[in-house]
Structure 1
Amino acid sequence: MDNAIRLFSTITNKSSYICTAMFKGLKNNNMPEKVFDLLDQMTFKPDNYTLPILFNVCAQVANNRAMKIGRKLLHNMPNDYRNNNIVLNSAIDMLMKFGDAQSAERIFDSIKTKDIITYSAMIKGYVGNEMSEKALDLFEKIDLKLDDVIYTIVFNACSKLANDRAMKIGRKLLHNMPNDYRNNNFVLNSAIDMLMKFGDVQSAVRFFDSMKKKDIITYNAMIKGYVGNEMSEKALDLFEKIDLKFDDVTYISVFNACTKLANDRAIKIGRNLLHDMPNGNQNNNIVLNSAIDMLMKFGDLQSAERIFDSIKKKDIIIYSAMIKGNIYQVKKSELYM
């Protein structure tokens, strides 16, 4: 990428095509700030190919600089592009990431011919902004063929709410889902998570068993669901069958299962998992928080303190885990006084 940047800097007359290619390359290499730096140096007007990339970068970062740039681009956007769904869909996604649902709604309402991606951007934005009821309101107005993104997002909205309305919509959507999507892990993982949130473990197990190629997200959804439904022994049973690389969610879910049980089996599994955990996962405060919580529940204050001391950037969650653990130990010792 460095060579591409050097080559780009030598070009005197940069066309819109070249700029767009450069922005896209920087975005794909996770260098959003470089995109902003480059944009500040440019005098060209972004076209309908460049704007969606820039809106996507602003959405990805969503800090003060990104918000300022994104809003300015949107404000100065030529009227010609205000009928372009690709541009407007990315603008809606950006505004939702900024937490500006009101502006996103204004753009959504202005679009004459909405496509399924327009609805997806709005519904996903509502869910991300903790407005899942609005997400379901909008979903019920769709008169287009649904795609896998819609199924996933609506299942997520139903998972978050888990009320009577959400259960009704979620179950109906799942029941009427075409067979094409029943082999789509992305969709089925969110369906499993939803069913677990509904307390319908039996249906979640059925979907899990029907999946030919289970990924780590599938196992995570099941394990997390078992823990949430007070079935932590089943969570550990399933964990011991995994033959895939664990991710942060796996560690957190299994540590939580072990915390809830705190029996001989859980202590053995939890300690082994913590001992073998790669360094990459040891930089995640959420993982370490659940590990500290687990060790405190095991009565292993010394190990919990070691992990606590090893954390360079301690946040309120880490301090809370230690305080909560110490309170638990005090109360536990008082029972035997």
Structure 2
Amino acid sequence: MATLNSSLLSLPHSPNPPILTVKNDRPSTSHPQTHSLIDQCTNLKHLKQLHAQMLRSGLFFHPYSASKLFAVAAFSSFSSLDYARKVFDHIPQPNLYTWNTFIRAFASSPEPIHSLLIFIRMLYESLDFPNKFTFPFVIKAAAGISSLPVAQAIHGMVIKASLSSDLFVSNSLIHCYASCGDMDSAYLVFLKIDEKDVVSWNSMITGFAQGGCPEKALELFQRMEVEDVSPNYVTMVGVLSACSKKLDLEFGRWVCQYIERNGIHLNLTLSNAMLDMYVKNGSIEDARRLFDKMEEKDVVSWTTMIDGYAKGRDFDAARSIFYAMPRPEIAAWNVLISAYEQNGKPKEALSIFHELQRSKTAKPDEVTLLSTLSACSQLGAIDIGGWIHVYIKKQGIKLNCHLTTSLIDMYSKCGDLEKALDIFYSAEMRDVFVWSAMIAGLAMHGRGRAAIDFFVKMQEAKVMPNSVTFTNLLSACSHTGLVEEGRMFFNQMESVYGVVPGIKHYTCMVDILGRAGHLEEAFELIGKMPIVPSASVWGALLGACRIHGNVELAEIACGNLLEIDPSNHGAYVLLSNIYAKTGKWDGVSGLRQRMKVFGIKKEPGCSSIEVDGIIHEFLVGDNSHPISNEIYSKLDEIVDRLKSAGYVPNASHVLQFVEEDDMKEKALNLHSEKLAIAFGLIRLGPSQPIRIVKNLRVCGDCHSAAKLISMLYNRDIILRDRYRFHHFSGGKCSCMDYW
């Protein structure tokens, strides 16, 4: 892609610029028929034929005729910028009008940088100096690439050309500075305009609204009224956007009434802005009333309503709106898929994706693929994720950093680390998120040393780590007991890399120290935190206390955790486990009673397994599966083989909930991961690994059983729990029992 040096001010230009007016030669009267045919041209083929005739007759070399042909090539309904560029390059001496047309054409193109490069070429080649018609298009191009240095350089040229008082140029500068995020400069330009028109006010209001200053946008709207400037629909779109950002429903309602009172034309754009304001402010009822009254609706109207219902978790209403659409476009499908995926409903997200495939009414785009890959990651649905990967290849979709990151994340979370590494190594571009995703993948699979090696390579590649990188790196140290390395990276974060440690980093550090038995140091670190410890920080300490049986610290951690999150069932379960492990039965009984009083229930264990692209879920003691009898028969066989191999159920994992000895063993055997393993042994071929995803931490008894099953049945079992992966093979686990 072309690049642009921002030092435009130093570029050569005519030392004695002519008068700054549009220069265009008089039309030739010798070929009026050809000029008329150019105006009537309806396709590129005919235009090229006229071009050939003009070359043969010599008419093309007349500035007016050439400019007319060029303008049609650049701006007609069948325009081709590539062809327009070729036409321009053959014009012997392009006049100022033609240069301006060329700059304007590319300023509105998907790659506005070419407009700036043409402008630079003009400064070198043209005898004419840029005029008041040139600069607005050049400024528009600078806004398109959001380059502040380029904007400042062009502004300097505007001042040198004595055009800073031109209203059209000034309005363009306001928009450009706002697009570059420099609202101070935009406002200075605004203040210097003597006679502001409605475009000046609109540019500034929209700039403030979109630039994170909604209060200033609303203040400016009130000033606009005081100065008796009549707003139009563009003004009101900007004001409504500010209301959406400020989350001011009451003022937003007042604005809607203002629009009606003042008779401002309610076109589709303005109606959609009102709809968006209501949805962003959480008033789906107001949004629905407006939506039902709208005579004209487009994809924005429909998707805004779908998004509004989805964010309110009213998925039935969201789907109702979706199915009422005359022909759902891909944007609507994306909103629904994303809503399910982001609200913890990945199965439903994949269901909608499958429906999209069957409907064939729209083609998945990058947004579709990213949301669906994320849903696959949550479920461990590697078959569907792999299908998407193949689809990307077949469709020739270029793997940008977003898709690369999502594929690495999907394969990592679905248990195929080698495939994730293949994606990483084959990527042409690797930004900080691609590197961070790969470090995260290595971390969750217990490859701590490899994660650190990747961090070193990342720095060698001159990619600066960010907050996410360090969360993943510290997690890698935690899962593999790399205490000294964890301390080093944590201490270097701010001093060496300029990344201020946040809650997630402190949680990781407490986990690193606690898992390794440095409980007092972990507790001291919490006391020294410059930010208020979160539930996750105390939860990490509580989990470490469970591993090492420290009752005193566990009670402190649990107390602090429940103060922050009183309904956290995990805290009760962990402390109850610790009490049971140390024989404090009064404590177990007290916690169970407290859970009953407050209506707190332990989250049920749930394990899922994908077979032939279908996700099968199992709860503790589940008997709802169609082949439930066959699964339990297989489970009996597994238990018998385990006992023959010397397996003894570890009943301590159910002490806090089950008291009878004969029921303890039964409860352990009904754990969801054991049911999923039994199903996998039935349905998957001998060479296929059994991939399971569990919503909770795998218990010690299931961990021991899985190791033995992998040896007795000669099967690889890849189990992902809430915190990490366990690869069971040949009677061993990749975690080396450090988890």
Q: Classify the TM-score, shorter chain.
A: 0.7 to 0.9
In structure 2, stretches of 5+ residues that fail to align are: 1-80, 393-397, 416-443, 445-606, 609-692, 703-739
1:153–1:277 Cα change, 3 Å? farther
User: Which residue is equivalent to 2:355?
Assistant: 272
Instruction: Give me the whole-angstrom Cα distance separating, in 2, the residues matched to 1:117 and 1:139.
Output: 13
Higher relative contact order (CA 8 A, sep 6+): 1
In the alignment, what sits opposite 2:280? 197
Query: Which secondary structure does the structure 1 equivalent of 2:324 belong to?
Result: coil
Shift of 1:119: 1.5
Residue number in structure 2 paired with 1:154: 239
TM-score (norm. length: structure 1): 0.84
- The sequence identity of aligned pairs, in percent, is 22
Deviations 1:233-284 (A, max 9, x none): 100111011113513x3232110343348498776434212555688643x2
1:82 is the counterpart of 2:445: no
Shift of the alpha carbon at 1:71?
2.1
Match of 1:27 in 2: 107
Segments of 5+ residues of structure 1 without an aligned counterpart are none
Q: Are 1:223 and 2:310 matched, yes or no?
A: no
Q: Which residue of 2 aligns with 1:58?
A: 142
Shift of 1:175: 1.1
- CA deviations over 1:114-169 (Å, ceiling 9, x no partner): 1221111112222332222222222221122111111112111211221xxx2232
Q: Which runs of 4+ in 1 moved over 6 A?
A: 263-266, 323-329
Per-residue CA deviations over 1:62-101 (Å, capped at 9, x if unaligned) read 24xxx44432221021464222211101111111111111
- Aligned AA (1:237): S
Equivalent AA in structure 1 for residue 246 of structure 2? L
- Whichever residue aligns with residue 241 of structure 1, its letter is A
Aligned residues: 328
Q: TM-score, normalised by structure 2?
A: 0.41
- Contact 1:55–1:70 (8 Å) recurs in 2: yes
Mean CA deviation greater in 150-159 or 306-315: 306-315
220-229 or 253-262, larger mean C-alpha shift: 253-262
- Cα gap change, 1:263/1:141 in structure 2, threshold over 3 Å: closer, same or farther? same
For the residue of structure 1 that corresponds to 2:212, the secondary structure is coil
Identify if the C-alpha distance between structure 1 residues 198 and 320 changes in structure 2 by more than 3 Å, giving closer, same or farther.
farther
The letter for the 1-side match of 2:171 is: N
Per-residue deviation, 1:220: 0.7
Contact 2:198–2:230 at 8 Å: present in 1 too? yes
Q: Distance in 1 between matches of 2:387 and 2:105?
A: 42
CA distance 1:146–1:325, shift in 2 (3 Å):
farther
Q: 1:294 aligns with which of 356, 375, 398?
A: 375
SS at match of 1:112: coil
Q: Which amino acid aligns with 1:149?
A: V
SS of residue paired to 1:224: helix
Contact between 1:196 and 1:229, CA under 8 Å: does it hold in 2? no
Output the CA distance in 2 between the equivalents of 1:199 and 1:335: 39
Pairwise CA distance, 1:334: 4.9
**CA deviation after TM superposition for structure 1 residue 194, in Å:** 0.9
Indicate which of 683, 692, 695 corresponds to 1:332. Answer: 695
Cα distance change, pair 70–266 in 1 and its aligned pair in 2 (3 A): closer
| Alpha carbons 1:292, 1:308 under 8 Å: kept | no
197-206 or 75-84: bigger deviation = 75-84
Q: Which stretch of structure 1 is more off in the superposition, 153-162 or 7-16? A: 7-16
**Contact persistence 2:244–2:277 (CA under 8 A):** yes
Does the CA contact (< 8 Å) of 1:258 and 1:269 recur in 2?
Answer: no
Structure 1: distance between partners of 2:362 and 2:313:
30
Pair 1:32–1:226, CA change in 2 (3 A): same
Quote the residue 2:627 is aligned against: none
Task: Specify the code of the residue in structure 2 equivalent to 1:161.
Answer: K
Question: In structure 1, which of residues 72, 78, 83 is the aligned counterpart of residue 153 of structure 2?
Answer: 72
Residue 85 of structure 2 corresponds to which residue in structure 1? 5
- Tell me how large the CA RMSD over aligned residues is: 3.1
The answer to whether structure 1 residue 122 and structure 2 residue 207 are counterparts is: no
If each structure's helix is expressed as a fraction of its own residues, which one has the higher value? 1
Pair member with larger Rg: 2
Q: What residue in structure 1 maps to residue 250 of structure 2?
A: 168
Question: Amino acid of the residue matched to residue 207 of structure 1?
Answer: L
Are the counterparts in 2 of residues 126 and 132 from structure 1 also a CA contact under 8 Å?
Answer: yes
Q: Matched residues in 2 for 1:104 and 1:334: separation? A: 53
* Equivalent-residue separation in structure 2 for 1:84 and 1:325 (angstroms): 60
| Residues 192 and 221 in structure 1, CA contact (< 8 A), matched pair in contact too | yes
Where 1:243 maps in the other structure, the secondary structure is coil
**Deviation for aligned residue 1:31:** 4.5
CA drift at 1:36: 2.2
Q: Which of 396, 400, 411 in structure 2 is aligned with 1:313?
A: 400
Structure 1 contact 54–70 (Cα < 8 Å) conserved: no
Residue 100 (str. 1) matches residue 463 (str. 2): no
